[in-house]
């Protein structure tokens, strides 16, 4: 994590094309972006594609980040939106390509690299299935909150809602997930 005092300088340097400064930002945030993208699209490979697609957009618009404290929420939201777009196209492809026998070709992003413990594996599948039923924008909310650890206000700023609106929507989502996951 970049020291908050140094962050302003790092962002300013990266915005002017300093590759080393940009690499520091990548190093500090790439994993968080991948986690959030994964919550949104549910596929490791797609999540990595989303983060890869996010970095050039970050490079192009880094100069618009005036407050370094807002960098992290913005970065993970860029990755979340890329994942949403990729997931949309991927879902359409699944619908179309029913002839492809996916049952014999393990997805490199899901079962093969998940936890080996059967109990944990079942819990992860339950969670993945529950999140997959959510609206894409709700998956973004879950990712920003529980994969990136953003506050309601931070989420509200990057998705264009009030903090109160975010809290109300998250409360409804929590109730729904609690029921679906039998976590009551």
Partner 1 sequence: MHDLPNDPIDPYEARLARRVGAWTEQAVEPFDAAEIARATAVTARRFGVRGALLGRGRSPNLAWVLVAGVLIVAVGGAVIGGGAKGPVGPAATPTAAPPVVAVHSCTPNDVEAVITAWDGAAGSRIATVELHQTGTAPCTVDPLPQPWLADGRGSPLITGKAGAGTPITLAPREVLHTLVQVGNYCGPAPAAPVTVAFTQHGAAFVATALSPTDLSGVPPCNGPTAAAVIEMHPWSR
Residues 6+ apart with CB under 8 A from 119: none
Window 17-56: contact mask with partner 1 (x via CB under 8 A): x-xx-xxx-xx--xxx-xx-xxx----xxxxxx--xxxxx
Q: Residue 143 and residue 74: Cα distance in Å, rounded? A: 13
The rounded distance, in Å, linking the Cα atoms of 15 and 38 is 27
Both tokens of residue 74?
Answer: 């913005």
74 interacts with partner 1 by CB under 8 A: no
Q: How is residue 55 written in tokens?
A: 């970095």
Q: Work out whether 177 is an interface residue with partner 1 (CB under 8 A).
A: yes
Q: What single DSSP character describes residue 182?
A: T
**What's the angle, vertex CA 165, arms to CA 130 and CA 64, rounded to 5?**
100
| One residue of 4, 5, 60, 118 binding partner 1 per CB under 8 A | 60
Total residues contacting partner 1 by CB under 8 A comes to 69
Question: What would the two tokens of residue 19 be?
Answer: 């590759």
Single out the residue of 71, 80, 147, 159 in contact with partner 1 (rule: CB under 8 A).
Answer: 147
Residue 164 as a binder of partner 1 (CB under 8 A): the answer is no
- Contact residues toward partner 1 (CB under 8 A) are 17, 19-20, 22-24, 26-27, 30-32, 34-35, 37-39, 44-49, 52-57, 59-60, 85-86, 88-90, 92-93, 95-96, 109-110, 113-115, 120, 123-124, 127-128, 142, 145-154, 163, 167, 170-171, 174, 177-178, 181, 183
């Amino acid at each position: 994590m970049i020291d908050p005092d140094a962050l302003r300088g790092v962002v300013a340097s990266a915005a002017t094309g300093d590759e080393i400064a940009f690499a520091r930002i990548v190093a500090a945030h790439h994993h968080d972006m991948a986690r959030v993208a994964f919550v949104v699209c549910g596929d490791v490979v797609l999540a990595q594609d989303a983060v890869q697609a996010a970095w050039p957009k970050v490079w192009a618009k880094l100069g618009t980040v005036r407050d370094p404290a807002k960098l992290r929420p913005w970065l993970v939201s860029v990755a979340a939106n890329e994942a949403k777009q990729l997931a949309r196209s991927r879902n359409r492809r699944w619908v179309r390509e029913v002839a492809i026998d996916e049952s014999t070709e393990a997805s490199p992003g899901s079962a093969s690299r998940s936890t080996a413990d059967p109990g944990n594996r079942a819990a992860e599948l339950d969670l993945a299935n529950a999140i997959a039923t959510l609206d894409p924008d709700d998956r973004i909310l879950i990712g920003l909150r529980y994969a990136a650890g953003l506050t309601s206000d931070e989420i509200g700023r990057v998705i264009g809602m009030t903090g109160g609106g975010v809290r109300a929507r998250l409360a409804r989502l929590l109730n729904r997930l609690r029921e679906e996951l039998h976590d009551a």
